[in-house]
Amino acid sequence: MEDYLIYIWLGMTFVLGTIVGSGLNVAIYRLPLEKSILWPSSRCGVCYQPVRWYDNLPLLSYWVLRGRCRACGTPYSMRYFLIELFTGLVFAGLFYLDIVVNVSDLLSLRQMHTSIQLGAIPLSAWGYWAGHCVLVSFLIITSFCDLDHREIPLNITVTGTIAGVIWSVLFPWPWPNERFDWEWVERRNTEVQQRLHKGIPPSVAAREAAQREGRDPFQPQLLIGAQPWPVWYPLPAWAPAGSWRLGLLTSLAGIAAGTLTLRGVRFLFGLGRGKEGLGLGDADLMMMAGSFLGWQATLLAFFVSVFPALAVGLVQILFRGRQDLAFGPPLALGILTTVLGWRWLGPHFQILFFNEGMLLFLGVFGAVFMFLASFVLRKIRPA
């Protein structure tokens, strides 16, 4: 077996995930109470004895101590263990999907497929994976804060947004694809446009590439990068591919899309129904996702998360739980699904996303529809 290195990497990313998960536990517990995550060190919530380092090992210590404090014997919630395990699985799962399987079909990873299978992971692939891990870590914190308190602390989402902006400036679209590849793709896109003006069909190679990606052959080919897509295509002249300006602009557009869409939906529902459905924390969560993903993926993630949100709502109605829903976890699930499924989702909406007239029409149509829907909801079930 030559691919044993992959299993070593999987194990190591899992262990790293459990260590990060242990830190996420601290953040989930302390941040909503406006406590510092750095000071004081971990201690028992009952006897205030500091937890020694060897009693603070992710996953293991919970079982060594049988879920109790060594000093006073108070039982700890199993949730700490489960969040560590979950984060470990997510980190290893992202390594497997992002890098080994190349689920987003990144051109640069496709070209390095053989060496990746042998366990030689290029630095750019690690950077790509690390960005997803940072985003998911913030999503885990916000989801659990939302579940616990029905509130998403602003300090978490703002920190996450800053991280997203920095990541976007460092790794602008179409990174991690090679400069050579993206320049070649842009040349072919220009050629397709010239052929369109002259009424000549696209070349066979261009048609095959379009078919592979499931888009119209006259639509430009957009390489998927760490930022899935650029803010606009054709790119503005002052923000060329791979420039920090393009990264920043794409990130800022994502921030605006995330926060404005959710605030808009909230406002329209409030207008029609006389009662607010979404919290402002949800808008902040989408702002954070937008800073990593740009506006197209953020918008789609919102629609994708409607499905898990409906499932959560249905379960709550069946079991007569709390009346106020936590939208954080469904939004997080929608974001992750959209990121991993962009290769299939993106091209279907490409024609819509890069057409001003179509966007305006859909925006107005969506607003009217949402207002009417909330008005009908109000008539059926008065708040």
List binders of Zn ion among 173-202 (CB under 5 A).
none
Tell me if 44 contacts Zn ion by CB under 5 A.
yes
Nearer to Zn ion, 45 or 240 (CB): 45
Nearer to Zn ion, 5 or 71 (CB): 71
CB of 48 to Zn ion, least distance (A): 7
List binders of Zn ion among 283-342 (CB under 5 A).
none
x/- track of binding to Zn ion for residues 233-272 (CB under 5 A):
----------------------------------------
Nearer to Zn ion, 72 or 118 (CB): 72
x/- track of binding to Zn ion for residues 45-74 (CB under 5 A):
-xx---------------------x-xx-x
CB of 292 to Zn ion, least distance (A): 39
Nearer to Zn ion, 44 or 249 (CB): 44
Nearer to Zn ion, 72 or 78 (CB): 72
| Only segment of 43-51, 159-167, 196-204, 291-299 that touches Zn ion (CB under 5 A) | 43-51
Nearer to Zn ion, 69 or 262 (CB): 69
Nearer to Zn ion, 35 or 212 (CB): 35
CB of 82 to Zn ion, least distance (A): 21
Tell me if 359 contacts Zn ion by CB under 5 A.
no
The site that binds Zn ion (CB under 5 A) totals a number of residues, namely 7
3 state SS for the chain: CCCHHHHHHHHHHHHHHHHHHHHHHHHHHHHHHCCCCCCCCCECCCCCCECCHHHCCCCHHHHHCCCECCCCCCECCCHHHHHHHHHHHHHHHHHHHHHHCCCCCCHHHHHCHHHHHCCCCCHHHHHHHHHHHHHHHHHHHHHHHHHHHCCCCHHHHHHHHHHHHHHHHHCCCCCCCCHHHHHHHHHHHHHHHHHHHHCCCCCHHHHHHHHHHCCCCCCCCCCCCCCCCCCCCCCCCCCCCCCHHHHHHHHHHHHHHHHHHHHHHHHHHHHHHCCCCCCHHHHHHHHHHHHHHHHHHHHHHHHHCHHHHHHHHHHHHHCCCCCCCCCHHHHHHHHHHHHHCHHHHHHHHHHHHCCHHHHHHHHHHHHHHHHHHHHHHHHHCCC
Chain positions contacting Zn ion, by CB under 5 A:
44, 46-47, 69, 71-72, 74
